């Protein structure tokens, strides 16, 4: 395919997509080779996810990932990025206080080349502090993989009315505090739709149904090259494609046209 010729996307471009009803595409990226293909296809956001602890490093959780490793992988991706907006995850226990959060987020932006950082949970004080320092923040609610040892299982969140209300309240608070984006992971599709409609910032879903403003998948899951079982909410886009580039194009097309996720990928 032809290179998608475009200027680098800013957070304003991503927010405008929500306003204009254009679905936002996001994939995880951890290295220059895959990142170059993702960027070339025209995926809107690349997320250097701490899922790299599982799919790259072979750990069973994201907990062991360090800030140094996140900076290294963010550098690998940012070196080849031309158009996609670039977000990097803050790993486990790197935002336990506002000072820690600022120091570690600064590394991801200054040394890594990220444009935004993502934090799991309603860490309102940290989000406020980072935003005050001029660091854009993406919230992450629903299933929080860094809390797996507390949760006990990777399961759907927000099924009970009280839990659903808490997620809606947390989402509002994150927006009010200055978060620019929100990832919603593994929540019932109806709840994700409601939250997406209630917020003005874009909501990017994973296992959260088709009515979010955009979708994200772990690259290795959608290319079916993961080391563990693919989650139900993901899809093997390589199944009907002959190349990585074509699989990513198929994902891009399916998300932009609200053909993915289907009901079989939703809760
Ligand atoms: O680490 C990651 O890849 C993520 C996505 C699953 C949203 O946070």
Q: Using the predicted structure, report yes or no on whether residue 5 has a pLDDT greater than 60.
A: no
Nearest Cα to 73, choosing from 118, 33, 112? Answer: 112
Is ligand 1 within 6 A of the CB of residue 183?
Answer: yes
pLDDT at 37 over 70: yes
Closest listed residue to residue 209, CA positions, set 224, 226, 191, 225: 191
Asked if residue 139 is part of any domain, the answer here is: yes
Give the model's pLDDT for residue 4.
54
Summarised one tens digit per residue, pLDDT across range 40-72 is: 999 999 999 999 999 999 999 999 999 999 999
Average pLDDT over residues 34-45: 98
- The 8-class DSSP code of residue 228 comes to S
Q: What is the pLDDT of residue 145?
A: 98
pLDDT of residue 235 exceeding 60, the answer is yes
Q: Looking at beta carbons, which pairs linking 112-115 to residues 24 or more positions away fall under 8 Å?
A: 112/48, 112/70, 112/71, 112/74, 112/75, 112/78, 112/88, 113/74, 113/75, 113/77, 113/78, 113/79, 113/81, 113/86, 114/48, 114/74, 114/78, 114/86, 114/87, 114/88, 115/11, 115/85, 115/86, 115/87
Q: Atom 3 in ligand 1: which residue has the minimum CA distance?
A: 49
Instruction: Decide whether any atom of ligand 1 lies within 6 Å of the 216 Cβ.
Output: yes
Does 51 contact ligand 1 (Cβ within 6 A)? yes
Ligand 1 nearest-atom number relative to CA 28: 3
Nearest to 72 by CA among 115, 113, 43: 113
In a domain, 6, yes or no: no
Average pLDDT, the chain: 96
CATH code for the domain of 230:
3.20.20.60
What is the CA(50)–ligand 1 centre distance, in A? 6
Q: Is 185 a catalytic residue?
A: yes
Q: Is residue 245 part of a domain?
A: yes
How many domains are there within the chain?
Answer: 1
Residue 48 pairs with which residues in a beta bridge? 88
**pLDDT tens track for 69-99:** 999 999 999 999 999 999 999 999 999 999 9
Report how far residue 59's alpha carbon sits from residue 53's, in angstroms, rounded to the nearest whole number: 6
Residue 4: inside a domain: no
The rounded distance, in Å, linking the Cα atoms of 157 and 160 is 8
Answer yes or no: is 45 within a domain. Answer: yes
Residue 226 has what pLDDT? 82
141 CA from centroid of ligand 1 (Å) = 11
Q: What pLDDT, on the 0 to 100 scale, is given for residue 251? A: 98
Q: For a pocket test of ligand 1, which of 114, 216, 217, 221 has the largest count of ligand atoms closer than 8 A to its C-beta?
A: 216
Contact 256, 25 (CB under 8 A): yes
Is the model's pLDDT at 2 over the cut of 90? no
Share of the chain above pLDDT 90, in %: 96
Q: Which domain holds residue 107?
A: 11-265
User: For residue range 203-220, what is the model confidence (pLDDT) as tens digits?
Assistant: 999 999 999 999 999 999
Active-site choice (185, 197, 245, 259): 185
pLDDT at residue 121 in the model: 98
pTM: 0.97
């Amino acid at each position: 395919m032809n290179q998608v010729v475009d200027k680098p996307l800013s957070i304003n471009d991503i927010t405008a997509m929500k306003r204009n009803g254009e679905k936002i595409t996001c994939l995880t990226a951890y290295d220059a080779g895959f990142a170059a293909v993702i960027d070339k296809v025209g995926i809107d956001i690349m997320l250097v996810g701490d899922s790299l602890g599982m799919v790259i490093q072979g750990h069973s959780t994201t907990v062991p990932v360090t800030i140094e490793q996140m900076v290294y992988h963010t550098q690998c991706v940012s070196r080849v990025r031309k158009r996609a907006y670039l977000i990097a995850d803050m790993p486990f226990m790197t935002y336990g206080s506002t000072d820690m959060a600022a120091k570690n987020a600064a590394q991801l932006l200054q040394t890594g080349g990220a444009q935004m950082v993502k934090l799991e949970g309603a860490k309102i004080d940290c989000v406020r502090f980072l935003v005050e320092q001029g660091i854009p923040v993406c919230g992450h609610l629903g299933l929080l993989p860094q809390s797996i040892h507390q949760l006990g299982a990777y399961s759907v969140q927000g099924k009970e009315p009280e839990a659903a209300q808490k997620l809606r309240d947390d989402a509002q608070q994150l927006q009010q505090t200055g978060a620019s984006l929100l990832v919603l992971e593994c929540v019932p599709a109806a709840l994700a739709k409601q939250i997406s409609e209630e917020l003005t910032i874009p909501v990017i879903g994973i296992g959260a149904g088709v009515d979010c403003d955009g979708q994200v998948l772990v690259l290795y899951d959608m290319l079916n090259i993961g080391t563990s079982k693919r989650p139900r909410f993901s899809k093997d886009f390589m199944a009907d494609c002959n190349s990585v580039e074509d699989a990513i194009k198929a994902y891009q097309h399916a998300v932009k046209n609200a053909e993915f996720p289907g009901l079989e990928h939703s809760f």
